[in-house]
């Protein structure tokens, strides 16, 4: 507990020496990593960074127990700040069933001159709406977001445990298409700008944003919703010293900025039935034609509630939730690259079956 208290004390002090703080913060939080075991505590499963205020964070329960959410908080470190005072903190509410998700969504319902309302369709998918600004779900791509646990239940932030972290506390900047790091104004102009020209990138893609100490970020996490890889079994409990490589644990949600098809469930290797099963379970599901050309038809003997298609690299290329359940579904694969694909189907009893498809 001493390491945890140390970490949170430094998260709330005023910035006085960036390098020293990073060093001490890293040392303090590193002790927590020993406490956070695989599949033992909540972590972020989806990062929704849509247009306007279409923002939200999905949290996943990888354990076999019901979790009381009032012991958990989501906090935002806005624009590279070392504290979350300007970014806001929200206590979660309710209970979270095993292997299930809780979706915290921006709660703004009225459009103002400077801030649009969150899409009602996205809010309807939430288990919890966030409070008024400042709040964690007002992120815009360069904000670190932390998931805290209050082990005592007294609400004292100095006792909080860091159970997951998206981004870099005190960083809030990106170096490349794949992550965040600290790079100077001189580096940015040398490697990105040549006078008024942008080297090697479309001007609508690269936009620079000034944060404390003239750091810059590139918008990999701006207007990009992300889903946690199925292989991730615990949260990040150590603040990255220099770099947050997004693609190590996250995949871009396919389909565009305001696509929310993968919300409401999360596929994770922590779930006991997530392993590929043979025998009777395999007979539940069929794909035809296989090899396929323009579309595939998925059929099952019992209703299924979700299906996900992955390419050979493990990247999600299609996902659909079926709230009413179905025993057959047609997927259009016209335009998909030729190769091997894996189809994963989730049934109502949480059993999951996987099939190989050739395109």
What are the tens digits of pLDDT across the range 239-266? 887 777 787 898 888 777 898 888 988 9
- Tell whether domain 275-358 is in CATH 2.60.40.3080: yes
DSSP labels for 115-156?
-PPPPHHHHTT-SEE--SSS-GGG--SS-EEEEEE-SSSS--
What mean pLDDT is predicted for residues 91-95?
Answer: 91
Question: Does the structure show a pLDDT above 70 at 15?
Answer: no
Residue 244 CB: number of other CB atoms within 10 A? 26
Q: Which two tokens stand for residue 118?
A: 């969150």
Of the listed ranges 125-129, 301-305, 332-336, 344-348, the least confidently predicted one is 344-348
| Side-chain-side CA neighbours of residue 171 (13 Å) | 28
Choice between 185 and 57, residue whose per-residue pLDDT is larger? 57
- pLDDT of 332: 93
Question: Whole-number mean pLDDT of the chain?
Answer: 76
Choice between 303 and 221, residue whose per-residue pLDDT is larger? 303
Choice between 276 and 157, residue whose per-residue pLDDT is larger? 157
Domain ranges of the chain: 2-252, 275-358
Say how far apart CA 3 and CA 35 lie, in whole Å: 11
E-strand ranges in 211-351 read 226-228, 243-245, 250-252, 285-288, 295-311, 316-332, 340-347
Q: Which two tokens stand for residue 272?
A: 């006991």
pTM, full prediction: 0.64
- pLDDT of 140: 84
Distance (Å) of CA 301 to CA 297, 322, 343: 14, 16, 16
């Amino acid at each position: 507990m001493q390491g945890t208290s140390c970490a949170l004390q430094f998260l709330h002090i005023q910035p006085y020496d960036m390098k020293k703080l990073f060093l001490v913060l890293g040392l303090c939080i590193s002790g927590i990593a020993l406490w956070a075991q695989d599949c033992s505590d909540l972590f972020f499963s989806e990062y929704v960074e849509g247009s306007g205020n279409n923002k939200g964070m999905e949290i996943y329960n990888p354990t076999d127990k019901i979790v009381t959410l009032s012991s958990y908080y989501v906090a935002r470190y806005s624009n590279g700040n070392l504290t979350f005072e300007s970014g806001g903190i929200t206590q979660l509410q309710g209970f979270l069933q095993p292997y299930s998700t809780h979706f915290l969504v921006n709660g703004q319902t009225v459009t103002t001159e400077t801030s649009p309302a969150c899409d009602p369709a996205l809010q309807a998918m939430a288990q919890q709406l966030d409070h008024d600004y400042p709040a964690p779900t007002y992120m815009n791509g360069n904000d670190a977001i932390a998931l805290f646990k209050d082990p005592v239940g007294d609400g004292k932030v100095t006792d909080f445990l860091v159970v997951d972290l998206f981004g870099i506390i005190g960083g809030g900047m990106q170096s490349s298409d794949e992550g965040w790091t600290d790079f100077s104004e001189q580096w940015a102009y040398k490697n990105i700008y040549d006078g008024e020209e942008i080297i090697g990138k479309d001007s609508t893609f690269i936009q620079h944003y000034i944060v404390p100490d003239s750091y810059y970020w590139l918008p990999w996490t701006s207007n990009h919703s992300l889903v946690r890889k199925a292989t991730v079994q615990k949260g990040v409990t150590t603040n990255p010293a220099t770099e947050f490589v997004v693609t190590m644990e996250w995949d871009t949600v396919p389909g565009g900025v305001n696509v929310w098809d993968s919300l409401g469930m999360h596929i994770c290797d922590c779930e006991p039935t997530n392993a590929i099963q043979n025998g009777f379970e395999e007979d539940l599901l069929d794909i035809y034609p296989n090899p396929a050309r323009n579309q595939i038809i998925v059929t099952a003997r019992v209703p299924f509630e979700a299906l996900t298609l992955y390419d050979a690299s493990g990247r999600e290329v299609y996902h659909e939730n079926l709230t009413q359940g179905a025993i057959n579904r047609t997927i259009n694969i016209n335009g998909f690259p030729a190769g091997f694909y894996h189809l994963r189907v989730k049934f109502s009893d949480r059993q999951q079956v996987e099939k190989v498809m050739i395109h």
